[in-house]
């Protein structure tokens, strides 16, 4: 049976419906949605929210107050439904807003960095915060702000800001379990490390990656006194204002020629206005290792205090920016009470910060899997889960290092593991484990007008494909230069496995009154390598380092060198776990420039190389000595497998 309404009945029902619709259209929401527009209606919609209702995450922005009233821009991100989750904090000068909105998406995996995926999908609450004076945060930005003490009388530093931030988070993020871990790389590794000094009770674990520890000894600004002038773009990018800015506006072209034609680093800085940055002035006015540097060295801060927070120090074997810091902190802390259980050192087969990205290759090197993902899932996350979620102890070894050459992770009870074993330079450019009896020397002319490039020209150092993998670049491009000495072994009869930091022990002289010495330890692949034919003959740097001659007797009080006097230069190469395989050769290269990464030494002593003049740059004859009385060598930390 079909039911129907009479026309009069239907009309009576339609009338109130029409009236209700009219009232709805008059409501503010309905009017905003349906109001008529004209060609001149303003088109901006400032209230638009990029996080839509269907998003699988919550993203909150807070201005977190510090003890002095300054508020820091803080982004809190977690997956919807998260309850009783641990907090993983990173304090950064690299824009917390952009870091947490990597892609415009409604999926948490898309908006956060790759390294966060495993954590937020397992109930972690991810927090990124702009440090003082950067991007959305209030306050004054001071690069690597010193800890409260002789260089900082304000009572405010990264340790206090971390403490205040953690205190606010555990009280104001109801989705958390009240436990906090902190991590990050480079500058963010520095803040993660400093947070463990006088830590908040809720800080249960720290994973500093490639932390900036000592800017003179071997991290970003100097290496053993030689200035890394490529870093000048950091000043213009980070310190022009609170926002993200660009590199030095020197235009396109070969960086080699730009720096060479400018003259000294000071000349280059003045040409492009970099000399107006206070941070540049700090560096250029303090070229020696005075208390300006030693009292800012984080390993010394850490050594002066008990180790309270379980800490996993991470660095890449080919870290082109901060290879020094993590091993230096480990060395400073390894004998402290509790260090055996709380302190860990990780060395992976990575460039700077690659631990947080894809780790299946580096330059020409290919690994059997994603080593960075493997580390994060097998070691880093279980370490944090244990301290932040109460998961079983994963028993992370004190030293966890990836053995390049044979491609495997090694667990070790300490670091270094190898026994010091000299590899001697000898006659006819030989290299061997037996000290040469005959005395001798080899020489070359170092010409500051024709410095040795650190990568093949033309050099575009801001190109990520150039800068990130440069430490594994094939060294054949300089092996036949007349200003590079090359020593090498015969093909190895058996594997040589090293675990530690090779040490340079160089007896050398210059005809000038100052000189730089660059030493490279190189793994030379066989020409007939059929297993990896694309690597045939490859000259793989295992370690590269520089030392400025004026500091041979004192890092804090430079002195002119006496012409042609033999001096003994001792300095370390980066920490490695590497196997020189049977059939390969071991090579050592010695040179006096690595340009334009490092500023040129004039080779004529001047009080401050930043202000060297054109006439100060002179050719010099450099001599490397070997034999019983002057046994130049690379001391390898050899492991007997």
What count of residues does the chain have? 641
Instruction: Identify the sign of the CA torsion 465, 469, 470, 476.
Output: negative
Nearest CA-CA partner of 521 in 538, 552, 545, 499: 545
**Segment 507-511 mean pLDDT:** 98
Domain end among 377, 412, 447: 412
The reported pLDDT for the residue numbered 32 is 47
Instruction: Let me know whether 393 and 540 are in one domain.
Output: no
- Whole-angstrom Cα distance, residue 55 to residue 193? 34
Say whether both 91 and 190 belong to one domain. Answer: yes
pLDDT tens-place string over residues 441-460: 999 999 999 999 999 999 99
Residue 20 lies in a domain: no
- The model's pLDDT over 63-84, given as tens digits with 9 standing for 90+, comes to 999 999 999 999 999 999 999 9
Structural domain includes residue 105: yes
Say what the pLDDT of residue 641 is. Answer: 81
For the chain, the domain total comes to 2
Query: Which residues form the domain of 473?
Result: 419-639
Whether residue 531 is predicted with pLDDT greater than 90 in this model: the reply is no
Residues 334 and 442 in one domain: no
- Assigned domain for 198 exists: yes
Mind listing the pLDDT tens digit for each residue in 127-165? 999 999 999 999 999 999 999 999 999 999 999 999 999
Would you state the structure tokens that stand for residue 347, as one six-digit string? 């060395």
Q: Last residue of some domain: 412, 442, 475?
A: 412
Tell me the per-residue pLDDT of 382-414, one tens digit each, with 9 for 90 and over.
Answer: 999 999 999 999 999 999 999 999 999 999 999
* DSSP string for 532-600: SGGGTT-EEEEEEEEEEGGGSS-SSS--PPPTT--EEEEEEPPPEEEEE-TT-EEEEEEES--BTTBPP
**Is 353 domain-assigned?**
yes
Structural domain includes residue 264: no
Same domain for 379 and 441? no
**How far, CA to CA in Å, does 458 sit from each of 38, 203, 454, 469?**
56, 47, 11, 16
Q: Token pair for residue 325?
A: 């810091």
Question: CB atoms < 10 A from the CB of 13, how many?
Answer: 9
Task: Answer whether residue 170 is part of any domain.
Answer: yes
Predicted local distance difference test score (pLDDT) of residue 530: 62
Residues 446 and 304 in one domain: no
Q: What is the pLDDT of residue 606?
A: 98
Of 81-85, 272-276, 335-339, 552-556, minimum mean pLDDT range: 335-339
Q: How many CB atoms lie within 10 A of CB 449?
A: 9
Helix (H, G, I), strand (E, B) or coil at 232: helix
Q: Are residues 399 and 433 in the same domain?
A: no
Nearest to 137 by CA among 145, 146, 128: 128
What pLDDT score does 528 carry?
81
In a domain, 231, yes or no: no
User: Does residue 436 surpass a pLDDT of 70?
Assistant: yes
One domain for residues 388 and 447:
no
**Is residue 377 located within the same domain as residue 465?**
no
How much is the pLDDT for 581? 97
**Is 491 in the same domain as 624?**
yes
Q: CB–CB of 532/525 below 8 Å? A: yes
CATH number of the domain within which 487 lies: 2.60.120.260
Regarding whether 451 and 338 lie in a shared domain, the answer is: no
Residue 159, SS3 per DSSP: helix
The yes-or-no verdict on residue 194 having pLDDT over 50 is yes
Burial 222-247 (b: 16+ CB within 10 A, else e): bbbbbbbbbbbbbbbebbeebeeeee
Q: Are 448 and 619 in contact (CB under 8 A)?
A: yes
pLDDT over 80 (residue 586): yes
Whether residues 433 and 369 share a domain: the answer is: no
Do residues 429 and 397 both lie within one domain?
no
352 vs 210: CA distance, rounded Å:
7
CATH number for the domain harbouring residue 363: 3.40.50.1820
For the entire predicted model, the pTM comes to 0.93
Q: Is residue 96 part of a domain?
A: yes
User: What average pLDDT does range 609-615 have in this prediction?
Assistant: 97
Rounded to an integer, what is the distance from CA 12 to the centroid of its chain? Answer: 76
Look at 68-72, 285-289, 531-535 and tell me which has the smallest mean pLDDT: 531-535
Residues 315-353 pLDDT 10s: 999 999 999 999 999 999 999 998 989 999 999 999 999
Q: Are 133 and 239 a contacting pair, CB within 8 Å?
A: no
The residue with greater pLDDT, 615 or 532, is: 615
Q: What is the mean pLDDT of residues 472-497?
A: 98
Q: Give the end of a domain, one of 387, 412, 437.
A: 412
What value does the mean pLDDT take over residues 517-538? 91
Residue 33 confidence (pLDDT): 58
* Confidence band of 27 (pLDDT split at 50, 70, 90): very low
pLDDT of residue 22: 42
């Amino acid at each position: 049976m079909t039911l129907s309404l009479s026309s009069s009945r239907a009309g009576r029902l339609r009338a109130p419906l029409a009236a209700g619709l009219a009232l709805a259209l008059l409501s503010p929401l309905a009017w905003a949605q349906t109001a008529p527009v004209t060609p001149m209606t303003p088109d901006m919609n400032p209230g638009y929210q990029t996080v839509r209702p269907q998003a699988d995450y919550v993203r909150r922005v807070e201005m977190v107050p510090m003890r002095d009233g300054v508020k820091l821009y803080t982004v809190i991100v977690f997956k919807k439904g998260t309850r009783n989750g641990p907090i993983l904090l990173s304090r950064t000068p690299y824009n917390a807003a952009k870091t947490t909105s990597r892609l415009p998406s409604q999926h948490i995996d898309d908006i956060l960095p790759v390294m966060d995926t495993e954590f937020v999908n397992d109930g972690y609450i991810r927090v990124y915060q702009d440090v003082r004076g950067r991007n959305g945060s209030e306050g004054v930005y001071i690069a690597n702000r010193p800890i409260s003490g002789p260089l900082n009388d304000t009572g405010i530093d990264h340790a206090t800001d971390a403490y205040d931030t953690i205190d606010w988070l555990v009280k104001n993020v109801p989705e958390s379990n009240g436990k906090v871990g902190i991590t990050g790389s480079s500058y963010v590794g520095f803040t993660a490390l400093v947070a463990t000094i006088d830590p908040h009770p809720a800080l249960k674990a720290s994973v500093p990656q490639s932390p900036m520890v000592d800017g003179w000894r071997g991290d970003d600004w100097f290496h053993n006194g030689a200035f890394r002038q490529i870093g000048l773009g950091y000043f213009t990018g980070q310190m022009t204002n609170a926002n993200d800015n660009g590199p030095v506006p020197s235009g396109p072209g070969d960086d080699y020629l730009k720096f060479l034609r400018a003259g000294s680093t000071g000349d280059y800085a003045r040409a492009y206005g970099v000399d107006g940055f206070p941070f540049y002035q700090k560096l250029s006015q303090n070229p020696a290792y005075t208390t300006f540097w030693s009292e800012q060295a984080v390993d010394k801060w850490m050594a002066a205090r008990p180790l309270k927070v379980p800490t996993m120090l991470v660095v890449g074997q080919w870290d082109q920016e901060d290879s020094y810091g993590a091993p230096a902190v480990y060395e400073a802390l390894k004998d402290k009470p509790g260090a055996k259980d709380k302190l860990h050192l990780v060395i992976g087969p990575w460039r700077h910060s690659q631990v947080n990205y894809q780790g299946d290759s580096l330059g020409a090197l290919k690994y059997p899997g994603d080593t960075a993902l493997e580390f994060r899932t097998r070691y880093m996350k279980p370490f944090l889960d244990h301290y932040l979620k109460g998961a079983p102890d994963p028993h992370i070894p004190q030293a966890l290092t990836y053995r390049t050459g044979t491609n495997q992770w090694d667990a070790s009870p300490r670091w270094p593991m190898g026994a010091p074993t000299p590899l001697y330079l000898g006659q006819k450019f030989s290299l061997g484990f037996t000290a040469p009896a005959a005395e001798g020397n080899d020489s070359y002319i170092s010409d500051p007008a024709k410095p040795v490039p650190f990568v093949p020209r033309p050099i575009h150092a801001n190109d990520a494909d150039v800068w990130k993998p440069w430490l594994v670049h094939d060294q054949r491009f300089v092996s036949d230069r007349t200003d590079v000495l090359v020593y090498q072994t015969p093909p190895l009869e058996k594997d040589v496995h090293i675990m530690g930091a090779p040490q340079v022990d160089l007896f050398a002289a210059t005809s000038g009154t100052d000189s730089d010495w660059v030493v490279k330890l190189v793994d030379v692949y066989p020409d007939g390598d059929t297993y990896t034919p694309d690597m045939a003959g490859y000259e793989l740097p295992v370690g590269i380092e520089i030392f400025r001659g004026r500091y041979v007797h004192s890092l804090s009080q430079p002195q002119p060198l006496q012409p042609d006097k033999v001096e003994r230069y001792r300095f370390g190469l980066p920490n490695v776990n590497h196997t020189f395989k049977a059939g390969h050769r071991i090579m050592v290269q010695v040179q006096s420039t690595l340009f334009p990464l490092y500023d040129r030494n004039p080779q004529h002593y001047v009080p401050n190389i930043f202000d060297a003049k054109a006439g100060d740059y002179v050719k010099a004859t450099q001599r490397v000595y070997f034999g019983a009385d002057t046994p130049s060598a690379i001391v390898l930390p050899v492991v007997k497998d």
